């Protein structure tokens, strides 16, 4: 005798009052919608959904954003000074800024073009009713009073009033924070930004464009915030510090050159092509110092790295909807992924219908119907079938099992929260109520049906239970008492590229967690097939503790989770974030939306629901989970290289500040002209950093960008600055004004020292990095030995003693920097090990305090 159980769903399904045949149960009633003429009139009067295709900067904004920057303003002021006092060689630094700005504009325009093309592919195309036909249009083509048709997974793109509902349930949590789906009936209001979680419906647009609710929220920046960028905020903080330091250091140099040591530059040789004199020379010294303090290439290279990352990801059919998301990918250490459609193939195949005998005649009711007939009827009446129902329909059609044509009296669309769908049908034997869904939800846990479903699920199969319900499916108590009738077994194949993808994440230290609404045994089976650590112990999410801290610990420990509701997915992602993890969530269905929004980085599939694509920062347009390693690698390349480049530029800033302060206090002439600073900056950091910013990099990135960057830049910069001062004082020999050979000695010391810093930062070494440093040495040598180079940069290597002095001091500085770096690396390793041990001890103590769930 098949088992019976009282299984009540989470809420009412579609309420249908007419028990007779009605087209509204399986589809909307006939409706003409707007005519072409009415649409044209509304377009002509501006009553359109005039919202941008995607949130991005226009061409004008890109140009302004690259030209009118804080750094460019600083450089412009300094160049204006040199333009007055000359010579032209000392204004060469401005040309570098012009070139950098041009490159930044070109790269960002390329990235914009790539994003716009991908956005068109990804853009939602809502269904509207015009002239009695349902057609798809772009979001911008919707007009006021338009009749729109929506189904499961569709996002509501304009505000409206429901005109017809077939079990329509809408999730408004992204707008209102209310977690429970809202059942909509004709006359109810729907808001843009919400999405359909069950059923189908039609609504008439009442507010479009910037009058719509979600657009007004976005403009008020109330809920739709962008991804936080630690990289950009850190760089902005550093630039603010440097800006504040420019004024006192510049004033110190001016005062020192003019007053502290008297007119120390009066005896200097006239500057070729420029104005000579105490004030001119003092200004020239100040410009030379301040130009080197400004990390002029850092902002540029950050923008280029982001833009190139976007372009590279675009080649892999990955749409980046928020630029800082590229950075966020570098920090990801946990990837939560759905199973169906992500690790397994999108389509499923009907493998078997196993009759349990529950359709036999009842003593007090009508005779039962064959499972295949019922399934064919359910598939035929479902107005918006999910992948499982679509596979059943396709399989029955292939077997020659047509729908019986029974009349539908009530419908309950599938809901991720209920885990079942159903219909009340008028069969030849009378009205029957049928439900199809998860066996462990509809049947008792100890029942033979649930046990057999669990056994089959452990083999990686997807198993649904067909059951008779005791009440109409639109009843508040549905499904009531159920009688198991048949198990519907679907075959789902694991993607061929899923295994290598998980192996990549394991090698990179990224934990992967499968979070699915399927039976836990089925999820574990897929995990075991993919050799996912911990998959042999799958967890039923319904058994997870309610306490947030206990839940987060269990989620962190396990790797495979089944029967996860949309709200539970969100809680699991939140718990992982609370424990310090950077979480990427991948999904394609409407049940993933809340978790995608909660994750640090949401990754949606291109063939997924419009709702999931709209809230994700990244969209994989070709639905290939195997693209994700390339996405993570690109994020790590970007932020890892920018961190290297930032260390180089800040080293330059620190040694310039050190040199300027000491020279100012000693009241001697500044050792450089701006042209010397341009040469040093170009060969030591400027040119090499451009290549390093685009180089491969797989380093795992951790928080603390600013402090980690300064740990190298401050000691290296201070050593380089003191080395430059030491060389300067040695070659001056008590004088206060340098000659070209004195300046050349200091240039040699700084270049040799900072090129060594470049070598330290450029690890691991490959042939092109060695060649890059060698070519920079070659450029510096050409500038010093060729007549044109010596004239243009005012260099003199005719005194071997001064050249050797510069090299000797640089050698001592190189040893000091190396020792500091080795000691600092060891301290960081010990500190990290101590932090890991402390965290492990705290976790163990917390587990002992918390009773087992």
Q: Which CATH number belongs to the domain containing residue 321 in this structure?
A: 3.40.50.1000
- In this prediction, what percent of the chain has a pLDDT beyond 70? 85
Same domain, 591 and 654: no
Catalytic choice (333, 338, 440, 571)? 338
Q: How many CA atoms lie within 13 A of 783 on its CB side?
A: 21
Q: Which of 409, 473, 474, 383 is nearest to 20 (CA)?
A: 409
In this predicted structure, which of 342-346, 349-353, 780-784 has the lowest mean pLDDT? 342-346
Hey, CA dihedral for 402, 404, 406, 412, is it positive or negative?
A: negative
- Alpha-helical segments (H) within 256-405: 278-293, 296-315, 324-330, 371-381, 387-398
Would strands 618-620 and 601-605 be described as parallel, antiparallel, or unpaired? Answer: parallel
Q: Which of 461, 491, 521 is the last residue of a domain?
A: 491
In sequence order, the 6+-apart residues with CB closer than 8 A to the CB of 415 are 10, 169, 181, 197, 198, 421
pLDDT of residue 273: 53
Same domain, 704 and 832: yes
Confidence bin at 719 (pLDDT 50/70/90): very high
Same domain, 271 and 338: no
338 is catalytic: yes
Instruction: List the Cα angle 197/202/207 in 5-degree steps.
Output: 95
Tell whether the model's pLDDT for residue 228 goes beyond 70: no
Tell whether the model's pLDDT for residue 839 goes beyond 70: no
pLDDT of residue 22: 40
The answer as to whether 591 is a domain residue is yes
Same domain, 779 and 830: yes
The domain that contains 480 carries what CATH number? 3.40.1110.10
Same domain, 482 and 505: no
**How far is the C-alpha of 504 from the C-alpha of 506, rounded, in Å?**
5
Tell whether the model's pLDDT for residue 195 goes beyond 90: no
Domain count, the chain: 3
pLDDT of residue 665: 86
Tell whether the model's pLDDT for residue 739 goes beyond 50: yes
Confidence bin at 358 (pLDDT 50/70/90): low
**How far is the C-alpha of 328 from the C-alpha of 584, rounded, in Å?**
9
> Considering the chain, what is the average pLDDT of its residues?
80
Question: Which of 249-253, 607-611, 774-778 has the largest mean confidence?
Answer: 774-778
Same domain, 522 and 615: yes
Same domain, 724 and 748: yes
Same domain, 550 and 439: no
Q: For residue 402, give its domain range.
A: 4-30+348-491
- In this prediction, what percent of the chain has a pLDDT beyond 90? 12
The answer as to whether 131 is a domain residue is no
pLDDT of residue 846: 55
Tell whether the model's pLDDT for residue 277 goes beyond 70: no
Same domain, 608 and 561: yes
The residue behind tokens 């705290």 is 842
Residue that wins the pLDDT comparison between 302 and 132: 132
pLDDT of residue 20: 38
Same domain, 627 and 667: no
pLDDT of residue 56: 58
The answer as to whether 710 is a domain residue is yes
Same domain, 377 and 448: yes
The answer as to whether 423 is a domain residue is yes
Q: Which of 632, 656, 673 is the last residue of a domain?
A: 632
Answer yes or no: are the C-beta atoms of 126 and 148 closer than 8 Å.
Answer: yes
Tell whether the model's pLDDT for residue 658 goes beyond 80: yes
Q: Which of 491, 511, 539 is the last residue of a domain?
A: 491
Residue that wins the pLDDT comparison between 746 and 405: 746
The answer as to whether 617 is a domain residue is yes
The answer as to whether 751 is a domain residue is yes
pLDDT of residue 852: 43
The answer as to whether 770 is a domain residue is yes
Question: Which of 46-55, 335-344, 694-703 has the largest mean confidence?
Answer: 335-344
- Helix or strand or coil: residue 701? coil
Answer yes or no: are the C-beta atoms of 436 and 478 closer than 8 Å.
Answer: no
The answer as to whether 39 is a domain residue is no
Same domain, 555 and 624: yes
59: its two tokens: 């061409």
């Amino acid at each position: 005798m098949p088992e019976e159980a009282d299984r009540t769903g989470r809420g009412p399904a579609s309420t249908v009052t007419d028990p007779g045949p009605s087209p509204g149960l399986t589809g909307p009633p006939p409706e003409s919608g707007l005519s072409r003429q009415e649409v044209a009139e509304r377009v002509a009067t501006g009553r359109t959904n005039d919202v941008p295709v995607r949130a991005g900067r226009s061409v004008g904004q890109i140009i302004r954003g690259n030209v009118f920057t804080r750094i460019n303003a600083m450089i412009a002021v300094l160049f204006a000074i040199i333009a007055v006092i000359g010579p032209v060689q000392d204004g060469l630094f401005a040309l570098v800024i012009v070139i950098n700005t041009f490159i930044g504009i070109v790269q960002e325009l390329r990235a914009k073009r790539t994003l716009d093309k991908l956005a068109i592919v990804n853009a939602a195309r809502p269904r509207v009713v015009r002239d009695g036909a349902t057609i798809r249009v772009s979001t911008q083509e919707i007009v006021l009073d338009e009749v729109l048709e929506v189904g499961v997974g569709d996002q509501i793109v304009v505000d409206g009033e429901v005109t017809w509902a077939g079990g329509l349930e809408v999730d408004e949590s992204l707008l209102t924070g209310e977690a429970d789906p809202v059942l909509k009936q004709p006359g109810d209001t729907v808001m843009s930004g919400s999405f359909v979680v069950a059923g189908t419906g039609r609504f008439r647009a009442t507010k479009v464009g910037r009058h719509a609710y979600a657009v007004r929220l976005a403009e008020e920046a109330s809920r739709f915030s962008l991804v936080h960028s630690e990289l950009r905020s850190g760089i902005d903080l550093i630039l603010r510090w440097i800006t504040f330091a420019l004024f006192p250091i510049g004033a110190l140099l001016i005062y020192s050159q003019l007053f502290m040591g008297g007119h120390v530059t009066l005896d200097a040789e006239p500057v070729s092509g420029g104005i000579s004199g105490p004030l001119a020379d003092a200004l020239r010294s100040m410009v030379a110092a301040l130009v080197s303090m400004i990390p002029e290439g850092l902002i540029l290279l950050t923008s280029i790295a982001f833009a190139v990352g976007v372009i590279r990801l675009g080649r892999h059919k990955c749409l980046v909807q928020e630029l800082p998301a590229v950075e966020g990918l570098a920090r990801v250490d946990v990837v939560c992924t759905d199973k169906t459609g992500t690790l397994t193939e999108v389509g499923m195949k009907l493998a078997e219908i196993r009759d349990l005998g529950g359709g036999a005649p009842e003593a007090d009711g009508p005779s039962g119907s064959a499972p295949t007939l019922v399934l064919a009827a359910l598939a035929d009446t479902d107005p918006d079938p999910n992948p499982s129902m679509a596979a059943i329909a396709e399989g029955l059609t292939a077997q020659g099992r047509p729908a019986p044509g029974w009349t539908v009296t009530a419908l309950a669309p599938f809901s991720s929260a209920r885990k079942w769908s159903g219909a009340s049908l008028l069969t030849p034997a009378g009205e029957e109520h049928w439900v199809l869904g998860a066996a462990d939800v509809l049947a008792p846990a100890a029942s033979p049906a649930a046990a057999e479903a669990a056994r089959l699920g452990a083999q990686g199969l997807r198993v649904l239970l067909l059951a008779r319900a005791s009440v109409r499916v639109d009843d508040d108590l549905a499904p009531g008492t159920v009688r198991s009738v048949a198990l519907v077994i679907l075959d789902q194949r694991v993607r061929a590229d899923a295994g290598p993808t998980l192996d990549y994440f394991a090698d990179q230290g990224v934990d992967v967690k499968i979070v699915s609404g399927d039976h836990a045994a089925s999820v574990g089976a897929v995990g075991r097939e993919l050799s996912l650590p911990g998959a042999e112990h799958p967890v039923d999410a319904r058994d997870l503790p309610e306490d947030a801290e206990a839940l987060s610990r269990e989620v962190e420990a396990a790797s495979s989770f089944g029967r996860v509701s949309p709200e539970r997915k969100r809680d699991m992602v939140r718990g992982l974030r609370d424990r310090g993890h950077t979480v990427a969530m991948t999904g394609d269905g409407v049940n993933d939306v809340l978790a995608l929004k909660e994750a640090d980085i949401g990754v949606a599939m291109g063939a997924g629901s419009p709702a999931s694509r709209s809230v994700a920062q990244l969209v994989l347009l070709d639905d290939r989970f195997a693209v994700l390693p390339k996405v993570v690698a690109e994020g790590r390349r970007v932020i890892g290289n920018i961190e290297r480049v930032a260390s180089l530029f800040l080293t330059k800033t620190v040694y310039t500040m050190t040199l300027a302060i000491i020279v100012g206090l000693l009241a001697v002439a500044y050792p450089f002209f701006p042209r010397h600073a341009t040469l040093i900056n170009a060969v030591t950091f400027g040119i090499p950093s451009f290549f390093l910013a685009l180089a491969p990099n797989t380093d795992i990135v951790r928080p603390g960008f600013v402090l980690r960057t300064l740990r190298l830049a401050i000691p290296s910069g201070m050593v380089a600055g003191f080395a430059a001062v030491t060389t300067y004082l040695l070659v001056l020999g008590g004088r206060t004004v340098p000659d070209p050979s004195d300046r050349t000695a200091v240039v040699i010391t700084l270049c040799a020292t900072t090129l060594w810093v470049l070598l330290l930062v450029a690890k691991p070494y490959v042939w092109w990095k060695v060649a890059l440093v060698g070519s920079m040495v070659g450029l510096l040598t050409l500038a010093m030995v060729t007549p044109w180079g010596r004239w243009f940069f005012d260099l003199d290597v005719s005194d071997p003693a001064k050249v050797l002095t510069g090299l000797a001091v640089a050698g001592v500085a190189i040893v000091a920097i190396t020792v500091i770096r080795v000691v600092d690396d060891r301290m960081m390793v010990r500190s990290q090990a101590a932090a890991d041990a402390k965290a492990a001890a705290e976790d163990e103590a917390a587990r002992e305090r918390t009773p087992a769930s």
